[in-house]
Structures are given as structure tokens and as C-alpha cells.
Amino acid sequence: GAVVSQHPSRVICKSGTSVKIECRSLDFQATTMFWYRQFPKQSLMLMATSNEGSKATYEQGVEKDKFLINHASLTLSTLTVTSAHPEDSSFYICSAGGQGDLSYEQYFGPGTRLTVT
Amino acid sequence: GDSVTQMEGPVTLSEEAFLTINCTYTATGYPSLFWYVQYPGEGLQLLLKATKADDKGSNKGFEATYRKETTSFHLEKGSVQVSDSAVYFCALTPYNNNDMRFGAGTRLTVKP
């Protein structure tokens, strides 16, 4: 149980275009989902926390108009990188928060590598 | 706020050597503690966890004990293999929520 998928696993897009990354909890309902960004050889940086049906809470320094997060259902959250630039190239990881007795835990997706050319 | 500090890498060991990666935490209350492993080009995989003091998490020969008196959760393995080469992250979630805090990560390379 507690499987989280991400799609696509890799994406290459041209500068100025937008790209959407999907994060799905496959076998449980996730009230809360998290989006992280990881630069090469660094730790995960939390970008935002999204709760189903409400606006995401962004961490300081993360542009909410550039990184659009939608959590429209209990099993799907999306991250859209708008007007992407090469500096947006990174590894993006989502996670879903556990429920009930496992509410202290997060379940991580496999990540999406974005390359902006 | 709550945070995690783990030993700087990289760590290079020979196969069958003993591994210790230190992790200490700062937290109010009783956090839950985790070790994650990240293989090249992949996402994070939960390696083990502990949710209360004196709990020992173990998996695949790795183990870590939640030590409240020393606020530590050191990762150990008695005999590492080449396939253990990866980056290891110590993490915590504060008491009563899942807002996860990560250490910087420690890159382990095991040579044959």
C-alpha cells in the first residue's frame, strides 16, 4: 500500500513553454500532498504544501505564479511550471501525507526530471 | 524550529566494511525519525523509521535506534555491499504532523 506515482518521469521542454507534472496516490486518499525540488547533489527543498480543495501554501521564495499547484481530488495533485526557463531544470518530487495512524508519514513519488532547453 | 543534522559526506568504504552515518535532531516534543535512500536518478525510498524513544528501525541489514537522551538516530550496517552505494537522508516529522525536515544527505560509495 501507500504507492505514489508521478508522470512523466522525464520531460524535456523548450524555454517559454509550460509543463505539467502529475502526482497520484494510487491506493489511498491523500488530503495533503507536498512538492519538492532537488538540485544536483543536494537535499530536497520543500516548494509547497497542497490540501485537497484549497489553495497551496508556498514556501518563502517560491513563486506561486510560476509553479502552479492544483489539488483537485484526494488522489491527484498537479504542478505546472509556467513559462519554463533553463534554471527551472531540476528533479521534482511529490509526496502524499499519510492518514490516521500514519499521519506522521509522507509517501514519496519516484520523481520527475525536467530539462528546459 | 525542528531540524536534522547528518554527517557530511561523501563516505567511501570497501565492501563488507561497517557503516555508520550520524544523524542528530533538534525538536520540541517527540518527532518521528526516518532514513531514506536515493539511488542515482531515482526518487526517495523509505529505508526505516522509528516513532518513539528507544524504538529500533531495521531493514535490509540497516538499523537505527531512536535515542532521545542524545537526540540521535544514527544509521548502521554491519557489512556494506556495492549495491548500497546511494545517497542517504535522515529526516523527521514533528510530533502530530507530517511536515518533513531533511538532512543534507550523505553520499555513500562502496568499492569492491
Least Cα distance to B13 among B104, B61, B81 occurs for: B81
Structure-block grid coordinates of residue A36: 519538492
**Percent of residues, chain B, with pLDDT higher than 90:** 84
| Of residues B45, B93, B96, nearest to A105 (C-beta) | B93
Say whether pLDDT at B73 is over 90.
yes
Asked if B97's CB is within 8 angstroms of A105's CB, the reply is: no
Q: Using 50, 70 and 90 to split pLDDT, how confident is the model at A1?
A: low
Q: What is the pLDDT of residues B3-41, one digit of tens each?
A: 999 988 899 999 999 999 999 999 988 899 999 999 988
The least confident of A21-30, B59-68, B74-83 is A21-30
Q: Residue A17's CB: how many other CB atoms inside 10 A?
A: 12
CB contact under 8 A, B98 and A104: yes
In percent, how much of chain B has pLDDT > 70? 100
Burial class of residue A50 in the structure, from the number of CB atoms within 10 Å of its CB (0-12 exposed, 13-18 middle, 19+ buried): buried
Write out pLDDT tens, residues A62-87.
Answer: 999 999 999 988 899 999 999 999 99
The chain-wide mean pLDDT, for chain A, equals 92
Name the helix (H) or strand (E) containing B76: strand B75-77
Who's near B51: CB < 8 A, 6+ residues apart?
A: A104, B32, B33, B66
B9–A contact, CB cutoff 8 A: no
